[in-house]
Amino acid sequence: MFPQPTQLAGRYEMRAPAGQGGMGQVWLAYDRLLRREVAIKQVTVPPKSDAQTLELLCGLALQEAQAAAQISHSHAIRIYDIVQADGLPWIVMEYVPSQTLHQIIRRGGPLDVGYTATIGLAVLGALEAAHRAGVLHRDVTPNNVLIGHDGRIVLADFGLATWASETTDSQAGPMGTAQYVAPERAAEGLSTPAGDLWSLGATLYAAVEGRSPYARPTASETLEALLTQPPDAFVRAGALEPVITGLLQKDPPRRLTVSAARRGLLDVSRLPQTSSQPPAPRPRRRPATVFAPTQRQLALAH
């Protein structure tokens, strides 16, 4: 069932659900004016929301669109428009036919070390462009990294993004996925570019190990672990281990810089791949297979 309205701004035709993003439902739509498919994010409003809550949600949606629109990078999602319907903002962005990194890990198991480094380089480039524009993503997770059917790697969903000038959380709201929140943000509400790099490290750990470095049964146990314990032991990271370890330093000043992380990821991305094809779906309780891209996917990813 489609949302109301089924058309926006007299040009966007809503077609089908395309996923769930931070704070909203994402729809596949068609731009009749420019004759192209787009993705449109609908702000989710809790039932019986008061005027203050509605104003807050609208403000956050506008901030998301404005923040993402400042970033011009091939590995960052592109924002096209923001339109109003029924008193709510709808964010129009590029549609990327893809799977999320989370879906690939869940269906096929851990990724090849070299390809994981390639993903890291793409996301790092998008983050560097965001930080140059004064934007913090604050929600780098496998769910927000898209692996396009054409091989393109895209950092998406700026629903929790904020400006780098706002170093502390100024309002109540979602913090993000506990397993990928930087320790200083979990403990003190402190948001900095280094926090995005920590989340990148946790995402790369999940890609190569098949699970997050602080996977625990509950969010509270996860947060306690990431504040007080080292990451879970590495099993498959191999040459990528020093880079991930450097990104997962709890003390932000000791964390790898963008330049150091790029050097390490470049070295690992040049290693021979262990396979040339994605894995077939694996039965439960079997040893994890390792995802590796085709050579064409590798070429398109860079």
> Are 94 and 14 a contacting pair, CB within 8 Å?
no
Amino acid at residue number 175: M
Per the DSSP assignment, residues forming a β-bridge with 41 are: 26, 91
> Are 231 and 281 a contacting pair, CB within 8 Å?
no
Count the neighbouring beta carbons within 10 Å of the beta carbon of residue 258: 17
Q: Is 289 helix (H, G, I), strand (E, B) or coil?
A: coil
Per the DSSP assignment, residues forming a β-bridge with 88 are: 85
Cα separations in angstroms, 132 against 72, 165, 190: 10, 12, 19
The token duo for 118 is 């390639």
Catalytic residue positions, numbered:
139
Q: What is the Cβ-side half-sphere exposure of residue 225, based on CA atoms within 13 angstroms? A: 17
Alpha-helical (H) ranges within 111-212 are 113-132, 183-188, 193-209
Among the listed residues 122, 253, 242, the one whose alpha carbon sits nearest the alpha carbon of residue 193: 253
Query: Residue 91: exposed, middle, or buried by beta-carbon count in 10 A (0-12, 13-18, 19+)?
Result: buried
> Are 91 and 53 a contacting pair, CB within 8 Å?
no
Residue 189 CA to residue 276 CA, distance in Å, equals 43
Query: Residue 124: exposed, middle, or buried by beta-carbon count in 10 A (0-12, 13-18, 19+)?
Result: buried
Residue 50 CA to residue 45 CA, distance in Å, equals 10
